[in-house]
Structure 1
C-alpha cells in the first residue's frame, strides 16, 4: 500500500522546435523541476514506483475518435515545417516527432496509477506526466494537450473496474473544457473546475466556462464551473470554494474515485494564473479530498509554468498524499468579494440539482454589472518584473523556511487508553502509548479538581499529559486519550491549560455532549470553544458558541463544512481538542469525519478525549481517521431538517463579522479588525482583545515540565 508515483523520463522528449511565444512555456524542464524537488526532499524515495507504459489505441479510443488518433500517430514521421503547419490548425498546440509516444505514455501512466489504486496496490498517488490533457477534446488537440489523460482514466475506471461515480477536481487555472465536453451529459462523472475567467476575457474565452453551464440532459448538475473574475485569488478563496461548493456536492455524490487535474498554474508566482495561493494550500486541498472515496485519490499533473512554484506545489501535494501533517496556512483567512460573488453564483446555479444546497438560503445570481471591479490588493504582477521577481522569491523562500521548521513528527498517531481493549486492532504504525507524565506533575495539575483525585482519573490524566507534551513538542502528530466519565470535564480543562502553558497560542475546543465550558477559562481570543450539544443556539461571544447536534447526515455535513471548518481556518489553531462527552450522540463515521477533517487546518495537531466507557469501535475509527486512513462512508445521505438549517443560519449570521470564512455570498466590504471602534452590538460579542496574530511562531516555553502553581478551585 502507500502512495504511488508514476512517471517516465521519455516524457521529457517533446519540446517546441520553432519560435512561438505562446507555447514555449510548456517545456521539459517542468517535469525535471518537479522530479528534482521530489528527490531533493526525500519524497520520491518514500513512494511506491509504478512503471509507466504506453496506452493502447483502444484505450485512447475510450475518449478520442479513431481519425484523431491516426492524425497524431502520423506526426512521428513529419518534418519540422509540416509539424508547425499541423500545429497551426489547433489552438495553442505544438507537435514534435515524439509527441505520439509521449502522449501515449502520459495516458498509460495515469491508467497504471488508477489500476493500482482501485485494485489495492496503493492507497493513492501522483502521475507526473506531460503533455497535459484536460483541454484535449474528442477530435482536437488544444492548449498544449494532446490526449485527455484524466477523461480517459475516468472512462477506464468505469468500464474496467465497474465504477458508477467518479469525481474529477480540476484546480488548474484554465478551464478544462475538454473534460467538460466529454462528460457534460454523463451523471456518473461529477466535474468541478475553478478557472480564471474574467467574464469571458481569459483563455479559452468560452461562455460555457461560466457558472450557469451545469451540464446537459441527464448530466445536468454534474458540471460545476466556478469562474474567477479577477486575478490574485489566494488561500482563503480556494478553501472557501472547497468548503462551500465542492465538498457539499461531493459528499452528496459519494464518489468511488477522485481524480485531480492538478494544474499548478493556480499557485503563486505563475505567469499564466497570476494568483496568490501558496504551495502549501494544495496540501490542504488534497487532504480535504482524501476524506472522500475511501481515500482513493489520483492526482495527475496538468499545467504549472513557474518552475520553483510548480516544484514546491508538487512536493506539498505528495506530502499530503503520504499522510504527512500539512503546514498551517498563514495570513488573513477572508475570501475577497469577487471570490464570494463567484461562489454565490455557482451555488445558485447548482441549487436545483443538489439536495445539499436546495434547503439553504440562496442569494440571487449576480449579473456581470453587479460584480465588484476590485478585490484585495495584489502582489506585484507582470508589468513590474523586478518587483514581481522579488515577491516570488520572498514567498517561496518563506515556504522553504516553514518546511524546515515544521518537520514531520516521528509518530503520526498515538493512543493513550487507560484500559485498552485487546480487540482494538490498529495499524502497525499507530503507537500504543505506555508513557505517563511524572506523578508529581500530574498531581499538581489535578489538585484544583476534585473529580481528578481518584487513582483511575489520575492515571488517565498522566497519560493524556504525556501525549499532549509529545504533540506540542513535535514528537507526535495527533492522538486519542480516554478518561473516566466523571473526570471528563476536569481533564479537558487541564488539557486546555497545559496546551497554553506549552506555548500554544490558539486552542480550538470542539465539544460534543454534556461538557460545560469552565468559568475560569479566559475569553481573550486564545480559546475558541464550540459546543455541539445544546438544545438551542447560543453565542456568548465570538469565541464561545453552542448549537444543537444536527440529526441527519446532511445536517451534520452542513455543520462541519459550513461552520466547524470555516471557523477552524479563520482561527488557525495551534492545537485542536475534540471532546466526546456524555450523550455526544455521534455515530462512529461522523466522529471519524470530524476528527479527520480537523487535522487539516490544525497541521495534524489534534487530540481527541473519550470517556473510558466508549466502545472500542469508536476509538478505532478515530485512530484511523487521525492516522490518515480511509474514512467510512456517511451514506445514506439525508437532507438537513428545517430546525438544523435555521440553527446554522442563525449562527452564521451572528458570527460572520468575525469569522469571514463563513461567508458564502457577496456583501458590502466587512469591517476589518482595528479599522475603527466596534459598535455596541459588536462589543457584546467580541472579547476584550483579539487572538494572537496568526502566523507568529509559537513561544518557546522554558521549564515546560514544571508544575503549575496551585490555584484556588473557584478561579
Structure 2
C-alpha cells in the first residue's frame, strides 16, 4: 500500500459562524485549494507513522511462571500458623487450573537458576551470603534467633532455594515479555519480595523479585523505562529504596498507611516522598489512612493518579507487585476490594506499553480471596471480560484527601495534573471542603527496633469473620457473569452501503471511500482473518425498530427515497437502501454481542446517524443508527442501562434529543463547541444541558471551545469525566458513536487527535459492561485518518498492541479545555458523586505537628507549619 500524500494543516481556529455544514465544507475546501495553511511537505511529520509501524503487529500469548516443588518447601518451622505459607501458592495454582486458565497460557520452562550477580543488582553481597548461611543452619532455635534481627521474618533450610527460585521465575517471565516472545505474563511465586532492602530482609521478603527483574531488563537494554505498580496493602519500601533517585523506573504504590500508624510505619511511605535528584517526581505514594476501602475507592486512585501518570510516562514495560492483601477477608489489609477489581486494573493498563504487563505475586493472606483475585488477574491478562464491580457509593473522604494530597505534591512534575486549580492558603483563610483541599502531611508513626517478634505478630480473623468472608467469595464464584471468556471481535459491513454517493455537482466529504479505505487497511493488517465477519440476513427488515426512534411520516419518506435534498444532505437512488441496511448491520451486531457470539464488535456503516432527529435528517445523517440500536437492545433483550459515548467532533444533537428524558440511556458527547458557533450551531450542546425529567443527569456534554484540541485534552476528559461516570452508571452495553473527524488533518474538524488515541479510548472502555462494546462509524472525512482510526479501534477491541501517542501530556492541558473539564465536573457532580474527587488544592504543602499518641482529635487539628514541598 502506498503512503498517502501527507499534509499538516495550519488552521485558523477562530470560529466563523456559518449557516450550514455545507458552508463549513466550502470554507475548508477553499482554504485547501488556496494552500493558505499548509506547511512545507518535506518537513511535515508523518501523522500515521505509528499506525504503519503497528499495522501488522498482533497479540501474542500470556506466559505463566510457577512451580509447586521448591517454593512450597519454604515454611515457618516454629510457627505453623504463619500466614505466609505454602497453601498460598498451591491454592492459586489449583484455582487457575480448575478454571482451565493454565491451558490457555504458555507455561514457562527454565533450565538455569539466577545467580549471585543477579541478586546483587539490587542487594548487597552480604545479604546474599547471609541468606545462604542461615538456610544451612539445622537448628530451628538458632534460625529463630537469626529471625529476631529482622522485622517479620522466618527462615528454614529451604528458604534460600525458594527465594532464588522465585527470583528466577520472575526474571525469566519478565525477560520473555520484554523480548516480545509473549504479550504479558504472571510470575506466581513465593516468597514475596517488595520489602527486601539493599542490606536487610523484611516482611516475609528476602530478595526483591520485581526490582531485580526490572533492573536486569534495563541493564540488558530490553527496555528503557519501567513502571512498577505496587497494589499490595503494605508499602513497597524496598522497591522505593532501590529506585528513589532514578527516572528510568517510576514506582507507584497505594498502600494502607493510617498516617504512619500501620506497618512498616515509615515516614517515607507518605505522599510527599516523591523521589530525589533526577528521580524527583518518579516516586508516587498514595497512603490510605482508613480501613474498609472498597472497589470505588481504589478505582478513584486508578483514574485520578495512576492512569494519567502512566500515560504521560509511556513506559516500555509495566510490572505489577501483585499483593492481594487489600482483597476482601485479608486480616492484614482489612480492606474490602473484590477479586474482580484486579481484572479491571489489568484491563485499564493494557493499552499502555503495548500491553507488556508482568504481574508478580507478593502478599495476600486470606486464601479464598487470594486465589480468586489471582485468577481474575490472570483472566485480565488473557483479555477476558471484566466482572462488574460492586455498588459502593461515593469515594471515602479519607481517600479523596489522599488523592488531592498526591496531586499537590506532584503538580509541578506532571502535566497530566495541569487542569487542577490551586489557591494560596493563609492563616484565617476559610476553606470550602467541598471544593478546596489543603495539602497536608500527617505522620504519627513509630518505628520498631530489634529484637523483633517471631510468633503471633500478625493479625488473625475470628471464626465468624472467616465464615462471612468465605461465604462472600463463594457467592462471587457462583455468579457466572464474573467468569466470561473473550469470544472474539465481530465486524459488520454490506457493499450496498457504498452505493450512496454524491453526484458530480454535490461535493461531499461523506463518500464511499471512507469505508473502502477501512476495508483495505483491515485486509492488510489481517484483521479480516482475526476478526469474525457477522453477516446480516438478506431478508432482514428493521423498519419497526426505526419507528421506536423516528416518526412514521419521516420514515416513510426515508424508505421511499422522497426526502428533499438540502445543503448538508445529499440523496441518490440507493440512499434508502444504504440507510436501512446500515441499521440492520448494526442490529445484527447487537444480536451477536448480546447472545455472546462475539464479545465486542465494530459496525462499518454509512451514512452516519447521530445528527438525525426524530423527524429530520441532517448533517449527512438519515436514520439515527445508534439510537435505534439502543432501543433495540432494550426492547429485544431487556438491557436497562446503555452507555453511548459520542466521539464525533460534532455534537450528536439527534441522539441527545432522542434520549434527553431517559434514565436508561446515558449519553456522553465530547465535541467541538466554540460557544455555539460550530456545527450544529446549538447552545444545547453546552455543558449545562444535563437531561430533563427522569433523564436529568443522564446527558453529559463535554464542549471544547477556542482551540485546536488534541490527544492531551481528549484523554484528560476521558480520565476525569467519561470513565468515572461510566463506571458509576454500570452499563450493560456500551455503544460508541465513532466519528473520527476530531482526528488530525480532518477537513471539517480542525482538531489534532491521533488515530492511535482513538484505539486507547476503546481500551479504556473495554472493562465496562462485561466487555459488551460496539464501535459504530459516524463521521470522519480525511479517509486516511478515518481508516487508521478505525483500524486502531479494531486492534484495541481484539486486544492487540496499540501505541500511545508520543505527544500525550507532553505539554500542559489547553487552558480552555481545562476550563471546560472543570465546568463539566462542577455541573455533573450533583448527579455523579465520583466527580467530586478533584478539588482546588493549596499551592503549598502543610506539615502537621507530630503527636506521639494518635487520636481522631489530633487527626482533625488545624495546626500546620507552612512549607513548600519543593524546598
Pair 1:500 & 2:560 matched: no
Point out the more displaced range, 611-620 or 168-177.
611-620
Change (3 A) 1:595 1:269: same
Point out the more displaced range, 351-360 or 421-430.
421-430
Q: Which has the larger radius of gyration?
A: 2
Q: Equivalent residue for 1:67?
A: 126
Gaps of at least 5 residues in structure 2 are: 1-59, 423-435, 445-458, 496-515, 562-575, 613-623, 676-685, 691-696, 744-752, 841-871
List per-residue Cα deviations over 1:12-57 (Å, max 9, x = no partner): 1100011386xx1100000001000000010111110102452111
Q: 1:38 aligns with which of 79, 88, 96?
A: 96
Q: Equivalent residue for 2:799?
A: 628
Q: Equivalent residue for 1:681?
A: none
Q: 1:663 aligns with which of 830, 836, 846?
A: 836
Q: Equivalent residue for 1:602?
A: 769
Q: Equivalent residue for 1:108?
A: 168
Q: How is 1:21-60 mapped onto 2 (pairs within 5 angstroms)?
A: 24-52=82-110, 53-60=112-119
Q: Equivalent residue for 1:242?
A: 302
Q: Equivalent residue for 1:565?
A: 723
Shift of 1:629: 1.6
Q: Equivalent residue for 1:141?
A: 201
Shift of 1:493: 1.7
Q: 1:527 aligns with which of 637, 655, 665?
A: 665
Q: Equivalent residue for 1:433?
A: 533
Pair 1:581 & 2:739 matched: yes
Q: Equivalent residue for 1:540?
A: 689
Point out the more displaced range, 651-660 or 534-543.
534-543
Indicate conservation of the 8 Å contact 1:194/1:226, yes or no.
yes
Shift of 1:328: 1.5
Pair 1:96 & 2:152 matched: no
Point out the more displaced range, 251-260 or 592-601.
592-601
SS in 1 for 2:771: coil
Q: Equivalent residue for 2:135?
A: 76
List per-residue Cα deviations over 1:274-324 (Å, max 9, x = no partner): 101100000001111112111000000000100010000001000000001
Q: Equivalent residue for 1:468?
A: 590
Shift of 1:78: 0.7
Indicate conservation of the 8 Å contact 1:54/1:106, yes or no.
no
Q: What is the rounded CA distance, in whole Å, between the counterparts of 1:160 and 1:663 in structure 2? A: 45
Change (3 A) 1:183 1:487: closer
SS in 2 for 1:558: helix
Q: What is the rounded CA distance, in whole Å, between the counterparts of 2:528 and 2:213 in structure 1? A: 33
SS in 1 for 2:776: strand
Shift of 1:580: 2.3
Which one has more relative contact order, counting CA pairs under 8 Å at least 6 apart?
2
SS in 2 for 1:517: helix
Shift of 1:77: 1.8
Q: What is the rounded CA distance, in whole Å, between the counterparts of 1:451 and 1:328 in structure 2? A: 40
Q: Equivalent residue for 1:641?
A: 814
Change (3 A) 1:624 1:85: same
Shift of 1:577: 0.8
SS in 1 for 2:285: strand
Q: What is the rounded CA distance, in whole Å, between the counterparts of 2:130 and 2:166 in structure 1? A: 18
Change (3 A) 1:173 1:406: closer
Q: What is the rounded CA distance, in whole Å, between the counterparts of 1:399 and 1:96 in structure 2? A: 36
Shift of 1:103: 0.6
List per-residue Cα deviations over 1:556-600 (Å, max 9, x = no partner): 221111111011011111111111237343431121111111111
SS in 2 for 1:161: coil
Shift of 1:208: 0.8
List per-residue Cα deviations over 1:426-474 (Å, max 9, x = no partner): 4477333242156354233345445566112222222211110111122
Aligned length: 654
Q: Equivalent residue for 1:683?
A: none
Change (3 A) 1:355 1:465: same
List per-residue Cα deviations over 1:353-395 (Å, max 9, x = no partner): 1111144224544446899xxxxxxxxxx89835423431332
Indicate conservation of the 8 Å contact 1:333/1:569, yes or no.
no
Point out the more displaced range, 35-44 or 529-538.
529-538
Pair 1:399 & 2:476 matched: yes
Q: Equivalent residue for 1:388?
A: 465
Indicate conservation of the 8 Å contact 1:508/1:568, yes or no.
yes
Q: Equivalent residue for 1:375?
A: none
Shift of 1:88: 1.2
SS in 1 for 2:788: helix
Point out the more displaced range, 512-521 or 45-54.
512-521
Q: How is 1:274-293 mapped onto 2 (pairs within 5 angstroms)?
A: 274-293=334-353
Q: 1:491 aligns with which of 625, 639, 643?
A: 625
Pair 1:517 & 2:651 matched: no
Cα-Cα RMSD: 2.3
Indicate conservation of the 8 Å contact 1:409/1:476, yes or no.
no
Change (3 A) 1:233 1:582: closer
SS in 2 for 1:266: coil
Change (3 A) 1:142 1:429: farther
Change (3 A) 1:546 1:155: same
Q: What is the rounded CA distance, in whole Å, between the counterparts of 1:582 and 1:133 in structure 2? A: 46
Q: Equivalent residue for 1:376?
A: none
SS in 1 for 2:689: strand
Q: 2:263 aligns with which of 199, 203, 208?
A: 203
Pair 1:158 & 2:307 matched: no
Q: What is the rounded CA distance, in whole Å, between the counterparts of 2:579 and 2:311 in structure 1? A: 39
Q: 1:551 aligns with which of 704, 709, 722?
A: 709
Change (3 A) 1:194 1:446: same
Gaps of at least 5 residues in structure 1 are: 372-381, 668-715
Pair 1:308 & 2:394 matched: no
Q: How is 1:666-677 mapped onto 2 (pairs within 5 angstroms)?
A: none
Change (3 A) 1:407 1:195: closer
TM-score (norm 1): 0.87
